[in-house]
Every structure is written in C-alpha cells, then in structure tokens.
Amino acid sequence: MSKVIKGSSDNTTKNTESDVSEADNVDKIRDILFGNQMREVNQKFASVEKNLAKDLAAVRKEYAMQIESLKTYFESEVEILGSKLSAEEKSRIENMDELDDRLKQQGKQIDKKISDLAKSLDKNTSDINQKMLKQSQDFNTEMGEQISESRNRMDGYRDELDKGKVDKLTLSELFNTLAVQINSDES
C-alpha cells in the first residue's frame, strides 16, 4: 500500500510541476498576445486609481470641511442656546426674587393689618367694657334709687297703717264692751 501512495504522490508532484510550467507558458503567450493592451489597461487602472484616490481625498476633504462646518454650527447653536438658557435662568431668578420681595411686603402688610385689628379689637373691647361698667353703675344707681323710693313708699304705707290702726288696748276694751252688751241682750 505504501508503494501505491508513494507512486501517487510522485504523480501529483509531476502533475503540479507540469501545471505550473503550462501556466507559465500560458502567461508568456498571453503576454505576447495581449502585452501592450495589458500595459495600457494597467496604466488606465493606475490612472483611474490615481484619480479615484484624488477624488476620494477631495471628498474626504469636503466631508471634513462640512463636518467642521457642522461642528462650528452646532457649537454656535449650543452657545446660543446656552446663552438663552442663562438669560432665561437669570430672568427666572429675577422674577423669583421680585415675587419673594412682593410676598415679604404683603406679609408685612398682613402683619400690620393683624396688629391694627388686634389694637382696634382691644380698644373696642375696652370701650365696651367701660360702657358695660357705666351701664352697670347706672343700673345699680337706678336700682338703688328705686329700692330707696320703694322703701320710702313702704315706710309711708306703714306709717299710714300705724296711724290708722287701733290701739290694742282700745280694741280690747271695745270688744269687752261689745261682749258685755251681747250678753246682756241675750239675757
């Protein structure tokens, strides 16, 4: 078996050597037949390659310029937006400060009004208390006068009753006399 393999490997080597020499021969024939045309095609390819490289470099340069232009544009837009945001923030801070000042001022006004109302309420309460005290004193005075007047009247009535009342002794004598008279009329 090893002989068979060795023999086939020798054949393969001979075949590859003959294929290589045939390819060289074909290349030589091709070079003879198409040599000038191939050189022209190679020159044209080299020229196209050179033009393509130049065009590609120009396109790259143009894209780089456009990218730089876009970058500059975006940077300027970002800067403009940043300045607008800064101005807006400053404006809002000013508005907040102004609103804070107004709120403080209104708070002070409310505190003053509350203080004034408290003073007014205290004054009104004091006035009402004084009026109630005066009315109470007037009422007490009037009541005292009416009570005194009523006592005087009652004393007057008592005095009149005392004056008009019969003495007990006189009344008992009168009853005794009446009893005696009734007893004598019955007998």
pLDDT in tens, 35-90: 677 778 888 888 899 998 999 999 999 999 999 999 999 999 999 999 999 999 99
Q: Which residue has 């607008």 as its token pair?
A: 84
The pLDDT of residue 91 is above 90: yes
Of 3-7, 40-44, 157-161, 177-181, least confident by mean pLDDT is 3-7
Percent of the chain with pLDDT over 90: 45
Q: Which two tokens stand for residue 174?
A: 């009168």
Q: What is the DSSP letter of 187?
A: -
Residue 2 pLDDT exceeds 50: no
Residue % of the chain over a pLDDT of 70: 89
Q: What is the pLDDT of residue 1?
A: 43
CB 68 within 8 A of CB 75: no
- Token pair for 150: 């009523």
Mean pLDDT along residues 111-125: 91
pLDDT of residue 98: 94
pLDDT grade, residue 4 (50/70/90)? Answer: very low
Provide the whole-model pTM. Answer: 0.37
- pLDDT at 32 exceeding the cut of 80: no
Q: Which residue has the higher pLDDT, 59 or 13?
A: 59
CA distances from 75 to 80, 86, 90 (A): 8, 16, 22
Which range among 6-15, 48-57, 160-169 shows the weakest confidence by mean pLDDT? Answer: 6-15
Would you state the pLDDT for residue 15? 64
Q: In angstroms, rounded to a whole number, what is the distance separating the alpha carbons of residues 31 and 28?
A: 5
